[in-house]
Amino acid sequence: MRFALVLAASVLLTPVLLADHQHVVWDDKTDFTSLKTFAIREGRAATTRPELSNRLIFKKVADAIRAELLAKGLKESADVPDVFVGFSIGEDRPSGPSVIFNQGTLLIDVTTRESQKLVWQGVYTDEKSSPAKVADKLTSTVKKLLSAYPPKKRK
């Protein structure tokens, strides 16, 4: 009986657990300890949904990124930052003559100023939530993604 309950619970919870995920990649040749200053680029939306494609949401995400990076000891510099941090929100897909909301995506890129080289990227996707729910979770999503920045040294 206990096995049947565990099996039923795992089958029912699997779609919930797989509804969102994150993926982080970075350039393992980059010395992240030398990157001490940042500037945040203006956010953009890859969706037409007003819940995600508006200046207030962009400000909310930029503020969350700023808070996380400052907490990690980086300093914001508008003049000559070591890295630029960019982000985009949402994803639409074509559906005949119209477009439909496909998934909630938050993409954060870290690019060096000097070489314009992408050195770190975090992607969070949520395939089950509505655009409004994705918008509500953006601050915690930023925190989850940036928990992997800077990357830990591999041994």
26 Cβ contact partners less than 8 Å away, ≥ 6 residues apart: 32, 119, 120, 121, 151
143 neighbors 39 (Cβ within 8 angstroms) = no
| pLDDT at residue 18, as a whole number | 44
pLDDT at position 138, please? 96
For residue 31, the 8-state DSSP code is -
Range 20-146: architecture per CATH:
2-Layer Sandwich (3.30)
Rounded to an integer, what distance in angstroms lies between the CA atom of residue 125 and that of residue 143? 14
Which pLDDT score, from 0 to 100, does residue 154 have? 65
pLDDT of 106: 96
| 8-state DSSP, 96 | T
Whether 77 and 100 have beta carbons less than 8 Å apart is answered as no
**20 Cβ partners below 8 Å, 6+ apart?**
104, 124, 125, 126, 127, 128, 129
- Predicted local confidence at residue 6, as pLDDT: 37
Instruction: Label residue 123 exposed, middle or buried (CB < 10 Å: 0-12, 13-18, 19+).
Output: middle
Q: Closest Cα to residue 72, out of 36, 41, 23, 97? A: 36
Going residue by residue through the chain, which has 155 residues, state the pLDDT in tens, using 9 for 90 and above: 543 433 344 444 434 444 579 999 999 999 999 999 999 999 999 888 899 999 999 999 999 999 999 999 999 998 999 999 999 998 887 777 777 767 789 999 999 999 999 999 999 999 888 889 999 999 999 999 999 999 987 65
**Tell me, what's the pLDDT at 17?**
43
Q: If you ran DSSP here, which 8-state letter would residue 42 be given?
A: P
